[in-house]
Amino acid sequence: MPVEPPATPWLLPSPDRADVHGLVAVGADLEPGTLLAAYRRGLFPMPFSRRRIGWWSPDPRAVLPLDGLKVSRSLRRSCARFEVRFDTSFETVMRHCGDPKRPHGWINDEFVRAYTRLHELGWAHSVETWLDGRLVGGLYGVRIHGFFAGESMFHTETDASKVALVALVDWLRDTGASLLDVQWRTEHLASLGVVELPRDEYLRHLNEAIRPS
């Protein structure tokens, strides 16, 4: 079972205060208690500048319905090609996702340390794809009861990150989850079944998902 960390000392604002870009506030910290409080409130962090943290709540919010993942024939064949593991190389997955050579990379050392602490407490998870003993793809995110916040994914082999996503969805469905948040919609994610929800509808689903079963 995950270990509940000390509560955050920060008073987090309502997601309704977001500007047109989805930015709600700037500041606070990345302590485990702050991160969990933010996700429970419908916020997530990204760097705002070199030394400051931004807290975001896009409207609309992108989610992947757990019964809506689109798996092509070629992707189904790829699922048989890779070995999937959970939580065996969390920090390595994060560092691949944060590779500065990747476009729009934002995952810095501060975020790696923060989410690794959250992983050690049992709240953050990685789904990894391996080929011939090599880590070739994966994703990571935060789970709170029936809610999973997907943060980032990477691949060095074709379909490796998609296979991790298939495994994630299977795990979430098998363990009674109800909400998979992917933050912003992209054409790539839309091709896999991602849809958008208005913020108020997303928050209703979130409040239901984070309740202990």
Amino acid at 153: M
Helix (H, G, I), strand (E, B) or coil at 83: strand
Quote the pLDDT of residue 106: 83
Quote the pLDDT of residue 49: 79
Q: Are 192 and 165 in contact (CB under 8 A)?
A: yes
Predicted structure pTM score? 0.96
Q: Are 135 and 121 in contact (CB under 8 A)?
A: no
Is the pLDDT assigned to residue 102 strictly greater than 80?
no
**Per-residue pLDDT averaged across 115-131, rounded?**
98
Q: Are 53 and 26 in contact (CB under 8 A)?
A: yes
How does DSSP classify residue 12? P
**Residue 89 CB neighbour total at 10 angstroms:** 16
Q: Per residue in 2-24, pLDDT tens?
A: 999 999 999 999 999 999 999 99
CA distance linking residue 102 with residue 107, whole number of Å: 10
Among the residues of the chain, which ranges form H helices?
32-41, 73-79, 90-97, 109-120, 160-174, 187-191, 199-209
Backbone angles phi, psi at 51, to 5 degrees: -120, 5
Q: What structural domains does the chain harbor?
A: 15-60 (3.30.70.3550), 62-209 (3.40.630.70)
